[in-house]
Amino acid sequence: MSRTGGHRQPMTKIGYFLSSEEYTPAELIEQARLAEEAGFDGLWISDHYHPWNDEQGQSAFVWSTIGAISQVCELPVTTAVTCPTVRIHPAVIAQAAATSAVLLNGRFALGIGSGEALNEHIFGDAWPTVDVRLEMLEEAVEIIRRLWTEDGFVSHHGKHYTVDNARIYTRPDAPVPIYMSGFGPEATDVAARIADGYITTTPDSDLLKRFRENGGGDKPTQVGFKVSYAPTEEEGIEQAHRIWANSGLPGELSQVLPSPRHFEQASQLVTKEQTAKSVTAGANAADHLKAFQPYLEAGFDEIYVANMGPHSVDMMKLYRDEVLPELRRR
């Protein structure tokens, strides 16, 4: 066991992150099956309406993909993350998540966040400020939990949402855990207060400590990052920069830019050299092991790794044979 900020932590779980923006539904389903065979402990799956750029080229409806995954794989699944506030009403997300949990025999967690304009602007609604988005998210969580737990029909007349005599008939035996993403102090505080767990994509030990000390306690914490497996480091860097240069954009750009073409324009500011410094690329197991170290040292309970590019099958083999056994030995 390790101790970080007073949190006593069992062995970290290592999961695989399915990128809905880059792979077809069939590829995601096959990756889920291979991840289980390789020895991963769980799955993240992204929920997008658009990819970040046209080079990524995909963005399937995540709930259909989760249903198919449930038939080929027994790993637990977490959405990373769903925005249950603008594009889809929280009452519908409650039904989708409940059905996913039933199909997965309870091995499902609803990961939520305040969203990005990239995915949520499609009906022409004004994109709210972050304070309003967090307020909407908190009300959405209240609705979702009521629909999962209350007997009979639910009605709600709130500031942002109305629900009129709704009832979810197909529900799992226990309510679905809700994990919330937090990439800044304000969102992290809300997650600590209302969520059953915490999600992020940076090894920020200060935010993790803030979550635990402001109400998160020993609730599960999850973090994810991307690597770029390829036969050579040079090829891995090239494909990471071509497909995922948007990952290098700073600040709140990822939350406010409204379309893939805007991300493509902004990503021109990210150089290939910057990508090379920030991404683990190539086929060296030692390099892939090193990429986990900041997240392990920060003290996360679960770490999810995604692959960028076309070599996911070979990446799975490397992790099965070398990376996962060594991580667990350590």
Positions annotated as catalytic residues are: 48, 116
**And the tokens for 33?**
């099956």
Q: Measured on CA atoms in the order 285, 9, 1, 33, is the torsion positive or negative? A: negative
Q: How many residues does the chain have?
A: 330
Neighbours of 313 (CB within 10 A): 14
**And the tokens for 91?**
């009452």
**And the tokens for 307?**
């692959």
Cis upstream peptide for 163 (omega within 30°): no
Neighbours of 159 (CB within 10 A): 8
Cβ atoms of 89 and 57 closer than 8 Å: no
User: Strand, helix or coil at 110?
Assistant: strand
Cβ atoms of 56 and 243 closer than 8 Å: yes
**And the tokens for 120?**
């949520």
